[in-house]
Amino acid sequence: MDTPIRIGVIGIGGRGRIANHWKRADGLSKVVGGADVTDSYVAGFREMHGDDVFFTHDYRELIARDDIDAVAVTSPDFTHEEYAVAALEAGKHVFCEKPLAITIEGCDRILEAWRASGKHLMVGFNMRYMRMFNVMKQIAEDGVIGEIKAVWVRHFVGQGGNFYYHDWHATRQNATSLLLQKGSHDIDMIHWLTGRYTRRVVAMGSLDFFGGDRPNDLRCTDCEDLDTCPDPYAVDTRQQCAFRQEVDVEDHDMLLMDLEGGIKAAYLQCQYTPDYRRNYCLIGTKGRMECKDLVGDVTVLTRRGRSAEFLSDRTYHVKPAEGTHAGADPVIAGDFVQMLLTGKEPIATPLAGRMSVAVGVKGAESLRNGSMPQDIPAPPAWAR
């Protein structure tokens, strides 16, 4: 493909700001168009990418343009399936933010459109590009902790109200479950670090803090109880009340995963904790490694034994990186460009996107049906 790669963005606010990393000084890529239903984002978009950048409220006008080679779908989750399929069918390469879709069927439809198009498709799993997890991946592949058998992941979402309960994320219709929406990153990291996909899940969850009897159209700035609201993030004029009647997405989830190769994993997320961090622990036949957050150190503890590999524990000091999402956004944006220029296989693959969604969907199905175990449907045979 001739350079520069010309990229159009569907959803220029919020996560759409990753597009700033495609305005490259080396000229390999640039953003030439955007689509969004919200006018307030346009000024900032044009300030970054130029006054002559194309803008429309209708994504179909964007993907119909001949001067756009690739499309980034960074709009709300429930639109991913429609927009990604349409872009692929229009002959565009696609970067689709996670989750790939909000149903398993939606993911499979995107995969089929990808196969038929002959174009490239990449999923926005930026955690695969974080230094912390690249170090942990290398430790696992080097066999430092032996054969991985158990994984525990805890996600303390200290800003759950701010991120998920004041807007569209808070309903099953739009998000299916936060096991899918928020959990898709962590579920994917469990898959990636172990090199295995999930076969079966059991889950428990509940709506313990958010939701309630407030009107669905109540805005935080119009609320008489704003000064005493239990959610400290109830301040933004765009926000709906996090305690409104329509909220039906669980804010506390526990998921047990049975992976290929007999690996067992446990994932917990809570949306109303006082702190925000992720804690990963992987146990193998030779030892255990753990990180207490996305930045900092990885600690490896070895089993006791007589050979040299068991004689010491060790700490890996992970160097910090510049850029949003612990430095991952510039790297994943660059990987997308390299995929289009050279055909390089992306770290964040379409199949991985499908499998994390499948676990989130079936986890939600389990917790909403008395914690009944659920098998994960296999992907299309050609995609494995």
> So what's the pLDDT on residue 2?
61
| Alpha-carbon separation of residue 97 from 1, 80, 102 (angstroms) | 23, 8, 12
By DSSP bridging, strand 297-302 and strand 314-317 are antiparallel
> So what's the pLDDT on residue 377?
97
Determine the distance from the C-alpha atom of residue 20 to the mean position of all C-alpha atoms in its chain, rounded to a whole number.
18
Q: Can you state the percent helix, strand and coil of the chain, rounding each to 5?
A: 40, 25, 40
> So what's the pLDDT on residue 236?
61
Rounded Cα gap, residues 130 and 140, in angstroms: 16
> So what's the pLDDT on residue 159?
85
Q: For residue 255, give the amino acid letter.
A: L
> So what's the pLDDT on residue 238?
59
Rounded Cα gap, residues 112 and 151, in angstroms: 32
pTM of model > 0.75:
yes
Place of tokens 């069927």: 105
> So what's the pLDDT on residue 239?
82
By DSSP bridging, strand 297-302 and strand 287-291 are antiparallel
Is residue 329 within a helix (H) or strand (E), and if so which, with residue range?
A: helix 328-342
Count of alpha carbons within 13 angstroms of residue 134, beta-carbon side: 17
pLDDT 10s digits, 14-71: 888 899 999 988 889 999 999 999 898 999 999 999 999 999 999 999 999 999 999 9
Class of domain 128-325+355-383: alpha beta
Closest CA to 48 of 73, 75, 18, 93: 18
Rounded Cα gap, residues 158 and 324, in angstroms: 18
> So what's the pLDDT on residue 49?
93
Residue 219 sits at the vertex; the CA angle it makes with 214 and 223, to the nearest 5 degrees, is 70
Is residue 138 within a helix (H) or strand (E), and if so which, with residue range?
A: helix 131-141
Q: Selecting from 3.30.70.2190, 3.40.228.10, 3.30.365.10, 3.40.50.720, what CATH number does the domain 5-124+329-347 have?
A: 3.40.50.720
| Alpha-carbon separation of residue 264 from 63, 140, 186 (angstroms) | 43, 16, 15
Do 243 and 215 contact (CB within 8 A), yes or no?
Answer: no
| DSSP line for 56-88 | ES-HHHHHT-TT--EEEE-S-GGGHHHHHHHHH
Instruction: Give the total residue count for the chain.
Output: 384
pLDDT 10s digits, 186-217: 999 999 999 999 999 999 999 999 999 999 99
Residues in Cβ contact with 89 at an 8 Å cutoff, skipping those fewer than 6 apart: 113, 116, 117
> So what's the pLDDT on residue 350?
96
| DSSP line for 153-205 | EEEE-TTHIIIIISSGGGSHHHHS-HHHHTHHHHHHHHHHHHT--EEEEEEEE
Q: For residue 308, give the amino acid letter.
A: A
Series of mean pLDDT values for 10-residue runs along the chain (384 residues): 86 90 91 93 91 95 97 97 98 97 97 97 96 97 96 93 91 94 96 98 97 94 88 73 96 97 97 94 96 93 79 89 89 95 92 98 98 96 84
Q: Report the chain's terminal Cα–Cα distance, integer Å.
A: 27
Report domain extents, the chain: 5-124+329-347, 128-325+355-383
